[in-house]
Structure 1
Amino acid sequence: MSTGETGEDDHAVIRFGVLGPVQAVVNGEPVALGGPGVRGLLAMLLLRPNEVVPVEDILDGLWGEDPPLTARTIVQNYVSRLRRQLRLVDPTGSVWIDTQLPGYQLIVDGDLIDVTRATRLLNRARHEHPVRRAEMLREALGLWRGPVLADVSPRISAPELDDLRFAVLEARVEADLELGRHAELIGELATLAEAYPFREQMIAHLLLALYRTGRRADALEAYQRFARRAAEDLGIDPGPALRELHERVLNDDSTLLLPASAPLVPPKVGVLVPAQLPPTPAGFHGRDEELVWLDQLLAEDHGEATPIGVLSGPAGIGKTALATLWGRMVGHEFPDGQLFAGLRGFHATHGPLEPGDVLTQFLLTLGVPANEVPADTDDRAALYRSLLAHRRVLVLLDDARDSAQVRLLLPGGSRALVLITSRVRLEGMVARSGARLLDLPPLPAADSIRVIDSIVGPGRMDRSRLERLAAPACGLPLALRVVGARLAARQDWIADELIAELGDESTRLAALAAEHADTSVRAAFDLTYRRLAEPDAYRLLGLVPGSSVSPAAMAALQSVDVTAARRGLRELADAFLVSETSRDVFVMHELVRLHAKELAPAGEERAAALDRLVTYYVNAADAARRLLGPVAYPSGKADNSDIGTVVQAVRWFEREWANLVAVLDVAAAGDVWRLARMAHDFRVVRPLWQPWHQIVHKGLSSAVDAGDLEGEAWSRHSLCVLHAQFGRAAETLADATRIVELAAELGDPRLAVLGEEALASAHFGLKKYPEAVAGYEKAVELHRDSGEPGLAVFAVGQLALVHAEMGDEQAAERHARTAVSLSGTVFAEAVSREILGSVLSLRHGETAARQQWERSAELYAQVNSTKAEEMRDLIDGV
């Protein structure tokens, strides 16, 4: 019996649509979803992606106030059907339906849903040139395929989708008006005005288009027609914006013909209008969501307080570029000017600027004579606040060291807006000043490619090369700009050389340096490292073979307790050298990892630290796997108080799997196969072919290379179990025979038993049923003689399956019930009850099997959610 999954890759791309009939499309081909009920369920999940949709909401959407008695069962069947369909078309598992009380949650990348793509295009377009803006908005409108949710129950409604379409449509018309396409818009706008007679923005666009094409009388008539209809049908007058536009058309206001511009008035002495924002770096792309966040900060009502935004992130993430770009985009919102100060919080040669010096710079900029600048810092701050009390200014404070450095630089009035960038998370600004924090993530792959392409010259380099150049930069804008600069300064032939340098970890950081040494990723990270209060923790991070680390593993590296290690990691997270992606999971950016690796200790210090790390993983893996058992490989004396339940054990292995595999590359040969064997015990419970196969072969290769016969035997047994789980036991005859030979040579009775089991499984796979029965019976007897009858549960369960294949259903049921009685762990009982249910279904029918399968599904849910879902699907089909 196979309980595993192949885990094979598939490059099919699935997309979903609600802007029309509900649909799922794979590589352009529609997926058969089923009837209106299934499509309705999918629609409700798509309208609330990555949120839990309560079952009550689903029942209401499908049946309203009169659901059938079996409504919940029907919904479960719909969910099972969708899950099966998703697994068929998306074997990578990137989209799935999770059961989360009180309902279900569709886990999906929003970009795969048409409504999310339309929303993001609308948000991004607002920052583009009108030509590009119109193109993006037309692309968004093209996502509508007809009436939304056209083929599901009318009880499933989403009026916000119609509002979104109108928002996109109106924004596209505005862009076309800016481009002077007035004449060609009139017909479309007239049609829209008739179809949607009470959308005032459409009427306003029609008036403006008519007026700009010299049809003033027609514009006035269109307004009067709308006003009469609004009064007669709704009993209301036109809104103030439309009335104002009508008044301007009536008065033949020629400023409507072109966007109004503010007159240029030379500033008076002492009343300067500063414009200090630096230029935006070349190659800026992306950051659409962050720009929207900044727009919202500007639009919100902050009462009497000064609105403050803090952009935080690691060196080179593009904080200053984003701040200056946005500041220039909204410059018209700050008619009294923009102030800028580089605070040198992390500078290579100079210390941080004192707040008093920055205040002096600002006061002089604002027109205060040098001899009138107060000597006392607090007095300077008071004068600064007075000057800005009623002014609409943007204050950009770049590269802040800490909250104390910026506190005196905050204006007192609510009309100003302060934007701060920093390599540390300024949580003190939230507590004392009500600031809003935004951490900048790495750029996605598409935007990373655009950065390099725009610097090199659009279209000069093919897509494949751009992807290979962008990938090693890991979304860090500074690294991407360095790559672009190196390519732009030389001939195209350097691209292949640069790709090779970036692809090699030993030369990647050196490759990410421009002509000047201070314009490099390494130099940027050096500045952050030098400011750390406790740099040793960062140096030891360089020894971590994986991309993440837990406080427990860090405690082993540092020889400190877990609490101290967690505190140190969170201090590194505050400096953006690691990210705490979930509780106690600290992930390093790939380039940060390479930088830490360069600083890692060497010699005896390195060897001792790595030995402590490997010992931690051996002990923790041993503690976790013993909760999953039954464990064939003898347990040690490891103890780990953090892992005390089956659920905690599964979570530990899931969280640490990539690190376990990476640790094998730095462990001694004896530890490699032992750790691989312990990890194997987890994969028995959560079988996936590729990761299981990878770690088993690492253990086997290490043992064979070292001439370790014990390690070879246990590793070959892991290989036999792996193949048996995936229905390939027939391929294991040679390995099983070798285990028996090694057990005899070593005089190891436990290995001898496992060798007999492996041989029996090989015979079972080859359909040699009598030999399989004899082998399993011998193994069961040896297990009982050894005083560990619980270890016989697998062999007894397999005996049940062999007898079932041979047609002896009575013997099969007897062995299956014995297996259930021998089960000493959650997983063993889940498997045994699944086998018993299968045997009962053959002998007494599926109704008799249901109780066993239901209990099996409950148990599987604790250790293997995928297997639990398969069991529920089986039950639903009974």
Structure 2
Amino acid sequence: MRTGETGEDDHAVIRFGVLGPVQAVVNGEPVALGGPGVRGLLAMLLLRPNEVVPVEDILDGLWGDDPPLTARTIVQNYVSRLRRQLRLVDPTGSVWIDTQLPGYQLIVDEDLIDVSQATWLLNRARHEHPVRRAEMLREALSLWRGPVLADVSPRISAPELEDLRFAVLEARIEADLELGRHAELIGELATFAEAYPFREQMIAHLMLALYRTGRRADALEAYQRFARRAAEDLGIDPGPALRELHERVLNDDSTLLLPAPAPLVPPKVGVVVPAQLPPAPVGFQGRDEELVWLDQLLAEDHGEATPIGVISGPAGIGKTALAALWGRMVDHEFPDGQLFAGLRGFHPEHPPLDPGEVLGQFLLTLGVPANEVPTDTDDRAALYRSLLAHRRVLVMLDDARDSAQVRLLLPGGSRALVLITSRVRLEGMVARSGAWLLDLGPLPVADSVRVIDSIVGAGRIEQARLDQLVELCGGWPQALRIVGARLAARQEWIADELIAELGDERTRLAALAAEHSDTSVRAGFELTYRRLAEPDAFRLLGMFPGPSIGPGAMAALQSLDVAAARRNLRALADAFLVTETSQDVFVMHDLIRLHAKELAPVGDERAAALDRLVSYYLGAADAARRFFGPMAYPAGKTDNHDFGDVGQALAWFEREWPTLLALLDLAAPGDAWRLARMAHDFWTARPTRPSLVHKGLSIAVSAGDLEGEAWLRHARCALGYSAETVSDAMRVIEIAGRLGDSRLAAVGHEALATVHSGEEALAELAKALEHYREVGEPELSVPTHARLALLHVEMGDDAAAERHARTAVEHSDAVFTEAFSREVLGRVLSAQGAVSAAQQQWRRSLELYAQVNEHRAEQMRDLIDGV
């Protein structure tokens, strides 16, 4: 007689489980077993109960080919620890570990192990009426608590346990088919067929369920899809049983429609307890904060409203895995069952499921006879809400297309809880239904490592290689699982090949595809792209060279106004193809960027978009730099670039610096050197950035552009390389003469003055002022007057020094030049002994420097404090 059929004995009974994490349980409470090694030893003994397990097998399971020198001693310690723990929880001694050469033997009643329970239920159910059979098989399936042997070394494996689960599941579905539950099985079978495409028995069950619900064409399509996959991936044809079923469906064989045997008890609405959640995911790691968020959703008092959680994120980020795992963790909170529907919002082959069809499946699952399911969708929704009004049910709606698809599937009672996953942010659910939104992002590094380790085995891949692989996957769970699967399928040497494939942007997405499967990172992105209302926005982003983009640059790419471009970017953010990290700053994950790059325009379309983008950055850079000081180098249009203050201008340059650098390699030479020259004006305010002057100069010289060469040589003079300053300044003056350009002549003489002193410097600065007067823009001469003031102080001419300093202040029209001019005026006044007046100028200079250059501001504070 099996334990538990007539009640438990008076003493506590210990039970064991390997269909999930390895466990020992007494009176429903888990027993502390110890670390992975102890649990691994127990697992090997439980998998071969009442048999001698050789020590060599134990060593191999725990350490493989590289056991420590003290491995046998460690195993003896593990055995002692387990014996001690068993004595504590089972004083009757009904379970013990015996030492038998060449190893150890667990003496145990096999009925106490969950594998034996599941096997017994499967064998016994074969002789039962379909109703009782289905109940027993559901009981057997409930023994699986997650991935088998989930918390021990992957070297300890038992593939027969997966075969057992399939056998139980297939038998349970067969019983449900006999009971006429065809319609309610279709969703479960379709999901299973996607996950395990080569299980012929499940394909046969799916075909039969579809045929018996009047979907003959879909049944035939299911067969053809399987036949194609089997031929392409495995090189085989469907088996004889499946081929025979196909022929019968093709010939519309009415004997397939034989009624199922009458159930022992007629079904009653509200009696059936559904358990439709997908299997617990394999290799799940991390998401602790998200699991807490879900727990809070469950615990929160929502009043009379139905609690609704929406988990959103891009394809492959782990939305369904998180929802399914949490649902199974809290299934005891929903004694009235769990409903599941895959809504196919982004399916590669089928349109999104109609809400009416889902409601029909739910009603049948809840026990409504097929002939009593309303034909009208609204009537189905009303009956569905009535049935769930007072039931504690979890409803999981996976892969929703939009809010409209799920609206009718929301139960009316506050005792139910709805969990929705989608590749778009369903913000409409918040306003209409009070939903909570959770956006999933990539995994952190530590959790990413654990994902691969859980598949390959901890320590199997050298850490440096593992770190590289994790970095190249960018925390993307699907990418990590694919990499883990590819590593697990071969020896360690595949790691270097994978690193090479992933490290090359041209082959990275191709490498992130599971072999002999249609699972790939690219495929998930492609489905999202196909559903975009404005796909051109995503395509054009594929040619954008920088790490972040704003509405202005997007407007240039698309040739739209800024408001429309902002809407398009936020639509892409709602589809999780970009992320708005701060207001109007959008970034794209590296893997998504590579997919966009594959779709990017080519030819004339690309050239035109690039021209617009470069023009935008030329205008924006010109508008921003004008806050820093007078610009001797003239630029083009500054329309549509409204920076409110110098802080916004500086922030724009800081954010766009990588893009400006990348554009130098893409723009035409004339545009490239202009970008480099204007970026130099930002460098004068923030010299912590590397200068782009040398690259711009190289571009201009290579293109034979004299104007560009002159302006970049002038910029190089400001970098302080005295060895090159004289030759650069003389070359600028020479080119100015050839071009007849007074601006260039002025800056050339000004630069030459920096390497002279005394009268020679005065002469060069006087020539610069003369050329500035020819230009007719007095603000351009502000730096020249400031330098003349300092030079006259050195030469002892206080009156001339003060005159030039005050002229500089008078003509200053930008923050940086006014700060510099007042600093100089203060130095002039200080030299005259007017310390109070000098400090007044310096305090104002400090206020201005603080807006643009903290280093100069610190110098000014030191100057003030030192007087």
Which TM bucket (shorter chain)? 0.5 to 0.7
> Offset at 1:584?
2.5
For the structure 1 residues 738 and 431, does the alpha-carbon distance in structure 2 shift closer, same or farther, using more than 3 Å as the test?
Answer: same
Aligned pair in 2 of structure 1 residues 359, 663: CA closer, same or farther (>3 Å)? same
Q: Deviations over 1:512-548 (max 9, x none)?
A: 1111463111100110011112222222222222232
Cα-to-partner distance string for 1:33-54 (whole Å, 9 max, x where unaligned): xxxxxxxxxxxxxxxxxxxxxx
Deviation at 1:391, TM superposition (A): 2.2
Any conservation in 1 of the 2:623–2:642 contact (CA below 8 Å)?
A: no
Q: Describe how 1:614-653 pairs up with structure 2 within 5 A.
A: 614-640=614-640, 642-643=642-643, 645-653=645-653
- Residues 738-790 of structure 1: CA deviation (Å, up to 9, x unaligned): 33343344443322221222222244xxxx56644443343234323543332
- Counterpart amino acid of 1:754? V
Residue of structure 2 in register with 1:523 after alignment: 523
1:275 and 1:865 map into 2 onto residues whose CA distance is 63
The DSSP-based 3-state class of the residue aligned with 2:543 is coil
Give 1:820's match in structure 2, choosing from 803, 809, 812: 809
* 2:744 matched residue in structure 1: 751
Tell me how far 1:555 sits from its aligned partner: 2.1
**CA deviation map 1:528-581 (0-9, x unaligned):** 011112222222222222232222222222222222222222222221122222
Aligned to 1:366: 366
Q: Which residue of 2 aligns with 1:677?
A: 677
User: Using the alignment, how far apart are the partners of 2:416 and 2:864 within structure 1?
Assistant: 63
Matches within 5 A, 1:779-858: 779-802=768-791, 815-841=804-830, 844=833, 848-858=837-847
Equivalent residue letter for 1:675:
L
Distance change >3 Å, CA 751–CA 335, structure 1 → 2: same
Partner residue of 1:323? 323
In the other structure, the counterpart of 2:731 is 738
Question: Structure 1 residues 488, 834: CA separation in 2 closer, same or farther (over 3 Å shift)?
Answer: farther
Match status 1:712 vs 2:709: yes
Q: Is the 8 A contact 1:623 1:640 kept in 2?
A: no
1:384 matched to which residue of 2? 384
1:594 aligns with 2:594: yes
Q: Residues 40-55 of structure 1 correspond to what in structure 2 (within 5 A)?
A: none
| Distance change >3 Å, CA 308–CA 775, structure 1 → 2 | same
Quick one: structure 1 residues 869 and 316, their matched pair in 2 at CA, closer, same or farther if it must change by over 3 Å?
Answer: farther
**Structure 1 residues 807 and 495: CA distance shift in structure 2, 3 A:** farther
Distance 1:792 1:488, change over 3 A: same
Name the amino acid aligned to 2:743. Answer: R
Residues 168-179 of structure 1 aligned to structure 2 (within 5 Å):
none
SS at match of 2:399: strand
Aligned to 2:560: 560
Alpha-carbon distance between aligned partners in 1 of 2:780 and 2:588, rounded to the nearest angstrom: 41
C-alpha distance in 1 between matches for 2:833 and 2:476: 63
User: Is the contact between residue 274 and residue 338 of structure 1 (CA under 8 Å) also seen in structure 2?
Assistant: yes
SS of alignment partner, residue 752 of structure 1: helix
Partners of 2:858 and 2:520 lie apart in 1 by: 50
Q: Does 1:307 align with 2:307?
A: yes
Within the alignment, does 1:687 sit opposite 2:664 as a pair?
A: no
Q: Provide closer, same or farther for how the CA distance between residues 842 and 568 of structure 1 changes in structure 2, counting only shifts above 3 A.
A: same
2:742–2:774: 8 Å Cα contact kept in structure 1? no
For structure 1, which runs of at least 5 residues remain unmatched after alignment? 1-128, 136-179, 185-210, 215-263
d(CA) in 1 for partners of 2:798, 2:282 = 75
1:592-632, Cα deviation, whole Å (9 max, x unpaired): 22211211221112111211221222223223333433011
Q: Where does residue 695 of structure 2 map in the other structure?
A: 698
Please give the TM-score of this superposition, normalised by the length of structure 2: 0.66
Alignment of 1:18-29 (within 5 A): none
SS, match of residue 768 in structure 2: helix
Contact 2:798 / 2:832 at 8 angstroms: preserved in 1? yes
* Corresponding position of 1:775: 764
Aligned residue runs from structure 1 range 143-154, under 5 A: none
Shift of 1:293: 1.7
Q: Which runs of 5+ in 2 are unaligned?
A: 1-29, 37-80, 92-134, 140-264
Output the amino acid matched with 1:753. A
Query: Which amino acid letter does the alignment assign opposite residue 407 of structure 1?
Result: R
**Are positions 1:281 and 2:249 aligned together?**
no
**CA contact under 8 A between 1:517 and 1:523: conserved in structure 2?**
no
Amino acid at match of 2:749: E
**Contact 1:547/1:593 (CA < 8 Å) preserved in 2?**
no
Q: CA deviation at 1:283?
A: 2.9
Distance in 2 (alpha carbons) for counterparts of 1:665 and 1:575: 31
C-alpha spacing 1:454/1:731, structure 2 compared with 1 (3 Å): farther
Q: Aligned equivalents of 2:755 and 2:392: distance in 1?
A: 80
Q: Report the CA distance between 1:484 and its aligned residue.
A: 1.9
Once the two structures are TM-superposed, the CA of residue 388 in structure 1 deviates from its matched residue by 2.2
Post-superposition Cα deviations, 1:412-435, rounded to whole Å, max 9, x if no partner, equal 111111111111111111111110
- The answer to whether the 8 Å contact 2:312/2:421 transfers is yes
Q: Which residue of 2 aligns with 1:61?
A: none
Identity %: 72
**CA distance 1:842–1:469, shift in 2 (3 Å):** farther
* Equivalent position of 2:450 in the other structure: 450
Distance in structure 2 (CA, Å) of the matches to 1:279 and 1:518: 20
Alignment of 1:121-140 (within 5 A): none
Separation of aligned partners in 2, 1:553 and 1:130 = 61
Q: Secondary structure at the match of 2:754?
A: helix
1:532 maps to which residue? 532
In structure 2, distance between residues paired with 1:445 and 1:696: 37
Go from structure 1 to structure 2 and tell me whether the alpha carbon gap of 1:871 and 1:530 turns closer, same or farther (over 3 Å shift): same
Instruction: Report the Cα distance in structure 1 between the residues aligned to 2:452 and 2:736, rounded to whole angstroms.
Output: 59
Match of 2:193 in 1: none
What secondary structure does 2:573 align onto?
A: helix
- Cα distance in 2 between the residues matched to 1:670 and 1:711: 7
Matched AA of 2:291 = L
Q: How many positions carry a matched residue from both structures? A: 619
Give CA deviations for 1:7-63 in whole Å, capped at 9, x if unaligned: xxxxxxxxxxxxxxxxxxxxxxxxxxxxxxxxxxxxxxxxxxxxxxxxxxxxxxxxx
Task: Give the drift of 1:670.
Answer: 0.8
Q: What SS does the aligned partner of 1:592 have?
A: helix
Q: Which amino acid aligns with 1:538?
A: F
Q: Deviations over 1:51-93 (max 9, x none)?
A: xxxxxxxxxxxxxxxxxxxxxxxxxxxxxxxxxxxxxxxxxxx
The aligned amino acid for 1:828 is T
- Cα separation, partners in 2 of 1:420 and 1:844, compared to 1, 3 Å: farther
Inter-CA distance 747–641: structure 2 relative to 1 (3 Å threshold): closer
**Does the CA contact (< 8 Å) of 1:743 and 1:749 recur in 2?**
yes
Rg larger in structure: 2
Shift, 1:806, TM fit: 7.0
Matched AA of 1:703: A
How far is the alpha carbon of 1:840 from its aligned partner? 4.5
Match of 1:406 in 2: 406
Where do residues 410-559 of structure 1 align in structure 2 (5 Å cutoff)? 410-516=410-516, 518-559=518-559
Q: CA deviation at 1:351?
A: 1.1
Deviation at 1:586, TM superposition (A): 2.3
Question: Do the aligned partners of residues 334 and 864 (structure 1) sit closer, same or farther apart at CA in structure 2, a change above 3 Å counting?
Answer: farther
Shift of residue 329, structure 1, vs aligned partner:
2.5
Q: CA deviation at 1:730?
A: 5.8
Distance in structure 2 (CA, Å) of the matches to 1:565 and 1:609: 14
Q: Give the deviation of 1:312 after TM superposition.
A: 1.1
Cα distance in 2 for residues equivalent to 1:712 and 1:376: 76
By how many angstroms is 1:877 displaced?
7.3
Partner SS state of residue 418, structure 1 = strand
Distance change (3 Å), C-alpha of 1:807 and 1:497: farther
| Aligned residues: CA RMSD | 3.4
Checking the alignment, whether the CA contact within 8 Å between 2:786 and 2:824 is kept in structure 1 is: yes
Q: For 1:649-676, what per-residue CA distance to the aligned partner results, in whole angstroms no more than 9, with x for missing partners?
A: 3343334333222222221111100122
Does the 8 Å contact 1:547/1:590 carry over to 2? no
**Shift in Å, 1:133:** 13
> How far apart are the structure 2 equivalents of 1:737 and 1:450?
63
Q: What are the superposed Cα offsets for residues 282-323 of structure 1, whole Å, 9 maximum, x if unpaired?
A: 332222222222222112110011111111111122211221
- Mapped contact 2:539–2:596 kept (Cα < 8 A): yes
* More displaced stretch, 551-560 vs 744-753: 744-753
